[in-house]
Amino acid sequence: MGLKIWMNDGLADEADAKVSVFDHGLLYGDGVFEGIRVYNGKVFEHDAHINRLFTSAHAIRLKVPTDKETLKNYVRQTVDANNIKNGYIRLIVTRGVGTLGLNPLICKQGQLIIIADKIQLYPQELYENGLRVISASTLRNHPQSVPPQIKSLNYLNNILAKIEAIDHNMLEAIMYNHEGFVAEATGDNIFVVKERKITTPPISAGSLDGITRKVVMRLAKENGYDVREANLARYDLYDADEIFLTGTAAEVIGVVEVDGRPIGSGKPGPVTRDLLSKFEQYTRQ
Ligand code: PMP
């Protein structure tokens, strides 16, 4: 038996959950999305994700075909219909059906899709031993092209960097911006620890305003860490005591090698491990 998928205003069987070949989400990557966790049957940071979806949609002049409270209700109904206690939600709004031309204003109605499923996690071994990453040569989108704050369906920028990682037998790559500063990883935000001070690039460096990033920054501050947002150069990665990534799926994961250079001790460090454990406590309470 397949999943129940939310399509516009009701649940459909997975086999019937289909979109038109004229949907501009498919034709042009014209749309926005969110990835959200469910922990113990509760939608994690539900409001923050719904708000970011509406902000992304607003930025591309896409009208979400429902209001925020109704959308939250649809999300909960989808989670319940699939009996998801711990899992992952993909919330998508495409521009909807149009013609083969670019003009988004021809698309009369946005298409809403909600998928609630099990989550694909990194293997536990990587949380213990850390990730190896490379610096991607593909730069993060210039803020005057597709602004990186928009969580749009057009992920080709990050996919090109991900291909570079895969070509190097790695799972992640670090993306830099047009000024040479660190932006983020292809699907996660990045943090550097130096002498117990924690630094993450500001959103203006070309990172997504990550919801895990925000929660981890708050937890770190509450636990007495010095947390700051500042531009980071490649040097700061090579010189770090610890590096970790944050994201909805990855949570908090250590990086132990960048461009073949070991970071710190070559194992996920004490700050990374502490924050992962604090994050786990917080999400599983
Ligand atoms: N950056 C990018 C490019 C992402 O796609 C994501 C989400 N996977 C993140 C950062 C992390 O954001 P969040 O913590 O909201 O999942």
Whether 155 shows a pLDDT value over 90: the answer reads yes
Q: Quick one: pLDDT at residue 118?
A: 93
Ligand 1 atom index nearest CA of 189: 10
Whether 138 shows a pLDDT value over 80: the answer reads yes
Angle (nearest 5°) at CA 41 between 40 and 46: 105
Q: Quick one: pLDDT at residue 120?
A: 83
Q: Quick one: pLDDT at residue 61?
A: 97
In the chain, % of residues over pLDDT 70: 100
Catalytic residue among 151, 197, 221, 267: 151
Q: Is 285 or 184 the better-scoring residue by pLDDT?
A: 184
Task: Choose the residue to mutate in 175, 208, 276, 279 for probing ligand 1, maximizing ligand atoms within 8 Å of C-beta.
Answer: 208
pTM equals: 0.97
For the chain, what is the mean pLDDT?
97
How far does residue 208's CA lie from ligand 1's centre (Å)?
Answer: 6
Mean of pLDDT values over 120-143 = 95
Over residues 16-36, the pLDDT tens digits come to 999 999 999 999 999 999 999
Q: Is 30 in the pocket of ligand 1 (CB under 6 A)?
A: no
Q: Which two tokens stand for residue 45?
A: 């940071």
Query: Using alpha carbons only, how large is the chain's radius of gyration in Å?
Result: 19
Q: Which two tokens stand for residue 36?
A: 């959200």
Q: Are 241 and 195 in contact (CB under 8 A)?
A: yes
Q: Is 75 in the pocket of ligand 1 (CB under 6 A)?
A: no
Q: Is 212 in the pocket of ligand 1 (CB under 6 A)?
A: yes
Ligand 1 atom index nearest CA of 212: 14
Ligand 1 atom index nearest CA of 35: 16
Dist CA 182 CA 174 (whole Å):
7
pLDDT category at 285 given cuts 50, 70, 90 is confident
Q: Are 134 and 170 in contact (CB under 8 A)?
A: yes
How far does residue 210's CA lie from ligand 1's centre (Å)?
Answer: 5
Q: Which two tokens stand for residue 120?
A: 């694909």
Dist CA 187 CA 233 (whole Å):
19
Dist CA 171 CA 113 (whole Å):
28
Angle (nearest 5°) at CA 219 between 214 and 225: 110
Task: Choose the residue to mutate in 248, 275, 279 for probing ligand 1, maximizing ligand atoms within 8 Å of C-beta.
Answer: 248
Over residues 47-102, the pLDDT tens digits come to 999 999 999 999 999 999 999 999 999 999 999 999 999 999 999 999 999 999 99
Q: Among this protein's residues, is 151 annotated catalytic?
A: yes
List, in order of start, the domains of the chain with CATH numbers: 4-117 (3.30.470.10), 124-283 (3.20.10.10)
Ligand 1 atom index nearest CA of 211: 15
Q: Quick one: pLDDT at residue 284?
A: 87
Task: Choose the residue to mutate in 46, 55, 189 for probing ligand 1, maximizing ligand atoms within 8 Å of C-beta.
Answer: 189
Whether 121 shows a pLDDT value over 90: the answer reads no
Whether 152 shows a pLDDT value over 90: the answer reads yes
Q: Quick one: pLDDT at residue 15?
A: 97
Whole-Å CA distances, 250 to 44, 157, 161, 260 = 14, 20, 18, 22
Three-state secondary structure call for residue 110: coil
Over residues 57-71, the pLDDT tens digits come to 999 999 999 999 999
Q: Is 158 in the pocket of ligand 1 (CB under 6 A)?
A: yes
Over residues 171-211, the pLDDT tens digits come to 999 999 999 999 999 999 999 999 999 999 999 999 999 99
Q: Is 104 in the pocket of ligand 1 (CB under 6 A)?
A: no
